[in-house]
Amino acid sequence: MGQKDEPANPPETTLFRPTMNQKIFFHPERCLLCLSCVLACQMNSLGARNCRSIPLGERPRQRISLTFHRRTPWAWKCQQCTAAPCSEACVSGSLRRKENGAGVENQPELCVGCGACLLACPLSIPIPDEVGKVSKCNLCPEEEIPPCVRACQSRALVYQDVSCFSREKKKRFLTQALVTHEPR
């Protein structure tokens, strides 16, 4: 009798649950090629919240790009590799594994422009600017949700835990497989 009553099932939060292993995933079938994600990313790289506050004369860093590959839109961005060959190749420490192991952080001011990361990255993601310093997606650690994901109205870009994304993808695959292979 003297014990406190605890709820049998604690309420779960479904909107945002910060974890150590969140990444940006791309759903090409949802992409409208509106380039909102690219604009939001570039504005964030300049510290601008709207187009009118972009500092004159400054060029934004390109950390995401959209292209067509086999008639499908594709967002090229850092995959935050577990092995991270770019960080292993970086001689200046500009690219390095995050302390928690979830991704690679980029400090362009430390870059010496040697290009070793460009050779090491299997997807050629680091993008050199006009003076040779590279930039890449760092998942905007100062933001709860990266600006590119917030700007994507079609939800082609999603920011979620790797295991959650994997479960959802497996469910979609199984559902599609069951529908296409139903006995008649």
Burial of 84 (0-12, 13-18, 19+ CB in 10 A): buried
Question: pLDDT confidence of 26, banded at 50, 70, 90?
Answer: very high
In the chain, residues under CATH classification 3.30.70.20 are 21-77+137-178, 79-133
* Separation of CA 119 from chain center: 21
**Structure-block tokens of residue 167:** 């479960």
For the entire predicted model, the pTM comes to 0.74
Give pLDDT tens digits for 91-137. 999 998 887 767 888 888 899 999 999 999 998 889 888 888 888 99
Residue 176 predicted with pLDDT over 70:
yes
- What pLDDT is attached to residue 183? 63
User: For 105, what's the count of Cα atoms within 13 Å in the CB-facing half-sphere?
Assistant: 13
CATH topology of domain 21-77+137-178: Alpha-Beta Plaits (3.30.70)
- What pLDDT is attached to residue 15? 37
Residue 8 predicted with pLDDT over 50:
no
Give pLDDT tens digits for 150-167. 999 999 999 998 888 888
Residue 90 predicted with pLDDT over 50:
yes
Q: How far apart are CA 145 and CA 24, in angstroms?
A: 10
Task: Provide CATH code, domain 79-133.
Answer: 3.30.70.20
Residue 147 backbone phi and psi in degrees, to 5: -55, -35
- What pLDDT is attached to residue 121? 92
Strand partners, 158: 25
- What pLDDT is attached to residue 184? 60
Q: How far apart are CA 64 and CA 120, in angstroms?
A: 18
